[in-house]
């Protein structure tokens, strides 16, 4: 095989230079794009960073509530200040959106505006979750049944409805956004009609999914492991041989620690003592209260 001469154009040094030049070019393009609407970009970045941090804290608390008795004797009051922070950020972002006057002249600006709107809504949802869990308004029992799976679906549906009008105006090349009556009488493009059809299909699917999650939550309310009555507490759990921290009773009447029963029922569907079948709970997506980043960025 003929080897290229030393110093040939495709040597390692050339590849490094091209990579460096490509990186610099990408940075320049990114700066130009960001400069189109610096206020919205800064708002979006701030909301996204705080949202991810607080959601991680909430997810950790809810995971412990679901799989153990970590918060059986204590309340996560530390979530309340974070709830206040998220509520303040949400209100500030709504105010910025209200008085922002930059024209959404291209797809990037329209997407950025919808993303800020989306993050404002989910930041508000996060603040509500902090207050509900931190003040023990929603206890571990509701969380274990998948309450926040229904909660998150409501905000996904609400976000989808709120962002619709902004995209209708964008695809119709109408700015500033008129009243609904004025929009209905205005001329619309083919892209607008295509968007309306796709949006109707999406909204129907989201509504169906929301109703189905409510049904699953009601099923879980019936099939949930119940706390043992005070007069039926036992001296020790037969699984861990210790005093039950959070005694729960299965349909057959046997009492165990919640954590022991939870771990057992993950791999078995019967009582560890009498082998009587125990109905499984229906898995509800987003029941950990966390929205995937892919769903968060789907702002159309």
Per-residue pLDDT reduced to its tens digit, 13-49: 545 666 666 666 666 656 766 666 778 888 888 999 9
Q: Are residues 57 and 203 in the same domain?
A: yes
Q: Are residues 139 and 235 in the same domain?
A: no
Q: What is the mean pLDDT of residues 258-277?
A: 83
Residue 84 has pLDDT above 90, yes or no: yes
Question: How many CB atoms are located within 10 Å of the residue 124 CB?
Answer: 19
The pLDDT tens digits of the residues spanning 86-107 come to 999 999 998 888 877 666 667 7
Q: Are residues 237 and 140 in the same domain?
A: no
Q: Are residues 244 and 116 in the same domain?
A: no
**Residue burial 173-203, b: 16+ Cβ < 10 Å; e: rest:** ebeeeeeeeebeeeebeeebeebeeebeeee
In a domain, 102, yes or no: yes
Q: Are residues 59 and 157 in the same domain?
A: yes
What distance in Å separates the CA atoms of residue 140 and residue 122, rounded to the nearest whole number? 22
What distance in Å separates the CA atoms of residue 246 and residue 257, rounded to the nearest whole number? 5
Question: How many CB atoms are located within 10 Å of the residue 130 CB?
Answer: 25
Q: Give the domain extent around 31.
A: 16-224
Boundary of a domain, candidates 191, 224, 257? 224
Residue 8 has pLDDT above 70, yes or no: no
Q: Are residues 131 and 261 in the same domain?
A: no
What distance in Å separates the CA atoms of residue 240 and residue 221, rounded to the nearest whole number? 27
Q: For 186, which DSSP code? A: S
What distance in Å separates the CA atoms of residue 62 and residue 287, rounded to the nearest whole number? 9
Q: Residue 91: its pLDDT value, please?
A: 93
Locate 202 and state its tokens: 């999406």
In a domain, 50, yes or no: yes
Q: Are residues 39 and 87 in the same domain?
A: yes
Q: Residue 220: its pLDDT value, please?
A: 81
Residues contacting 11, CB < 8 A, separation 6+: 4
In a domain, 298, yes or no: no
Q: Are residues 89 and 194 in the same domain?
A: yes
Locate 241 and state its tokens: 């041989």
Q: Are residues 169 and 251 in the same domain?
A: no
Residue 9 has pLDDT above 50, yes or no: no
User: Of the ranges 51-65, 106-120, 224-238, which one carries the lowest mean pLDDT score?
Assistant: 224-238
Q: Residue 125: its pLDDT value, please?
A: 94
Q: For 138, which DSSP code? A: S
Residue 166 has pLDDT above 70, yes or no: yes
Q: Are residues 107 and 251 in the same domain?
A: no
Residue with tokens 């997407």: 111
Angle at which helix 258-267 crosses helix 38-67, to 10 degrees, equals 100
pTM given for the model = 0.82
Count CA atoms closer than 13 A to 157's CA, side-chain side: 17
User: Of the ranges 28-37, 58-67, 153-162, 231-240, which one carries the lowest mean pLDDT score?
Assistant: 28-37
The pLDDT tens digits of the residues spanning 112-160 come to 888 889 999 999 999 999 999 998 888 888 888 889 999 999 999 999 9
In a domain, 34, yes or no: yes
Please give the order of strands across the beta sheet that includes 226-227.
Answer: 226-227, 247-249, 255-257
In a domain, 3, yes or no: no
Q: What is the mean pLDDT of residues 257-281?
A: 82
Q: Are residues 202 and 72 in the same domain?
A: yes
CA nearest to 291, candidates 87, 35, 48: 48
Q: Are residues 166 and 241 in the same domain?
A: no
In a domain, 287, yes or no: no
**Residue burial 251-273, b: 16+ Cβ < 10 Å; e: rest:** eeebbbbbbbbbebbeeeeebbe
Q: Which CATH number fits the domain that encloses residue 246?
A: 3.30.40.10
Count CA atoms closer than 13 A to 133's CA, side-chain side: 36
Boundary of a domain, candidates 165, 199, 224? 224
Domains: count for the chain: 2
How many residues in total does the chain contain?
300
Question: How many CB atoms are located within 10 Å of the residue 75 CB?
Answer: 13
* For the chain, percent of residues with pLDDT exceeding 90: 24
* For the chain, percent of residues with pLDDT exceeding 70: 82
In a domain, 296, yes or no: no
In a domain, 295, yes or no: no
């Amino acid at each position: 095989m003929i080897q290229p001469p030393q110093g040939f154009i495709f040597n390692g040094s050339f590849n490094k230079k091209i990579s460096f030049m490509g990186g610099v070019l990408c940075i320049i393009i990114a700066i130009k794009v960001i400069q189109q609407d610096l206020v919205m970009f800064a708002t979006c970045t701030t909301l996204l960073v705080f949202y991810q941090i607080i959601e991680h804290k909430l997810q950790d608390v809810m995971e412990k509530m679901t799989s153990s008795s970590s918060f059986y004797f204590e309340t996560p009051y530390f979530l309340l200040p974070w709830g206040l922070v998220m509520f303040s950020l949400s209100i500030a972002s709504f105010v910025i959106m209200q008085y922002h006057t930059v024209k959404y002249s291209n797809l990037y600006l329209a997407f950025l505006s919808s993303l800020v709107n989306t993050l404002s809504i989910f930041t508000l949802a996060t603040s509500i979750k902090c207050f509900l869990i931190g003040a023990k308004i929603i206890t571990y029992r509701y969380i274990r049944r998948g309450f926040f799976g229904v909660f998150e679906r409501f905000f996904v549906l609400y976000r989808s409805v709120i962002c619709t009008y902004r995209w209708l105006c964008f695809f119709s090349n109408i700015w500033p956004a008129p009243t609904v009556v004025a929009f209905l009488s205005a001329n619309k493009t083919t892209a607008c009609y295509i968007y309306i059809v796709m949006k109707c299909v999406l909204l129907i699917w989201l509504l169906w999914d929301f109703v189905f999650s409510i049904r699953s939550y009601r099923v879980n309310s019936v099939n949930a492991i119940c706390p043992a009555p005070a007069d039926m507490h036992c001296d020790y759990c037969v699984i861990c041989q210790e005093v039950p921290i959070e005694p729960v009773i299965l349909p057959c009447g046997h009492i165990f620690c919640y954590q022991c029963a939870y771990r057992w029922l993950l791999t078995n569907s019967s009582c560890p003592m009498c082998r009587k079948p125990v109905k499984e709970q229906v898995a509800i997506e987003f029941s950990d209260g966390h929205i995937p980043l892919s769903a968060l960025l789907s702002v159309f």
